[in-house]
Amino acid sequence: MAEMNMLQAINSALRIAMEKDPTMLVFGEDVGHFGGVFRATSGLQDTFGRGRCFNTPLTEQGIAGFANGLASNGTTAVAEIQFADYIFPAFDQIVNESAKFRYRSGNEFNVGGLVYRTPYGGGIAGGHYHSQSPEAYFTQTPGLKVVVPRNAHQAKGLLLASIRDKNPVVFFEPKRLYRASVGEVPEGDYELPLGKAEVVKEGKDITLLAWGAQMEIVEKAAEMAEKEGISCEIIDLRTLSPWDVDTVAESVKKTGRLLINHEAPLTGGFAGEIAATIQEECFLYLESPIARVCGLDTPYPLIHEKEYMPDALKTFEAIKACVNF
């Protein structure tokens, strides 16, 4: 095991995948010699050359269209969208082309070797163009997988699994954890399963569900709740599409309560889909309404970032309200 932060773990995953797959290309805005705006691709061009790690023009739609073309011809394409906020110009190419290649051809051709990497979320004082969490937009698109790691170990294992998956993947990286999340990471090759949630902590009074950077928040809220005698079960969803209904439902049947936390706005957020599904699966087991602690229905505010964030205190208050319902 080596101590790595999330950026180092992502770089390690890309390096291993490129070593083992000579068809793999890494490309995006400034990813070449500069190593990307966050330095996730540092050193890859020096090692593998300009033909396999290179800069693109500043056009997200062009990056995604280029990625589709490469992947449909058998290349393993890993495209970086510099910030998730800038993924929207590429939205048409991702949801209308990447997601539907396999279906529209009857599996005669596909873009299974395609991953879109993109940093998402707030916490870096980035304002409304560098802080959004747009994961829910992609979860309603059959044909795409949506993955969000919470730490360095997950980032490497889930990214390697995403690169080798036979479906296109949108891989959201929590940018405020890039250097803050440091832990033991195997130096070699390993994968973590897509579509499988992780029960991080077992408990009996309430299930707390989150993903990515918000896992740290729910863990802090759970510590506060434990001091009040409330036992929290914590689940990291990890993959939003397809999401692990069985693991979440099994937990809720045990605890009778569910609180979902995500950084994206409340309305239309993925928490709503989870809540609807779990009330269908677990209706007779529920002791209180399913709670959502999410971002606000407003453009991401620069000066009021702290007020916007669904933090540990908001989550703790919601936990108490659920248990005391």
Catalytic residues: 60, 130
Give bridge partners of residue 241 from the DSSP assignment.
146
Place of tokens 């902590």: 201
CB 30 within 8 A of CB 82: yes
| Residue 162 Cα distances to 159, 239, 259, angstroms | 5, 10, 28
> Which token pair is 273?
């889909």
CB 170 within 8 A of CB 141: no
| CA proximity to 159, closest of 71, 81, 78 | 78
SS3 letters across 228-261: CCCCEEEEECCEEECCCHHHHHHHHHHHCCEEEE
| Phi, psi (rounded to 5 degrees) for 116 | -105, 115
Other C-beta atoms closer than 10 Å to the C-beta of 191 total 16
Would you say how long the chain is, in residues? 325
Element (H, E) at 222: helix 214-226
Element (H, E) at 243: none
3 state SS of 265: strand
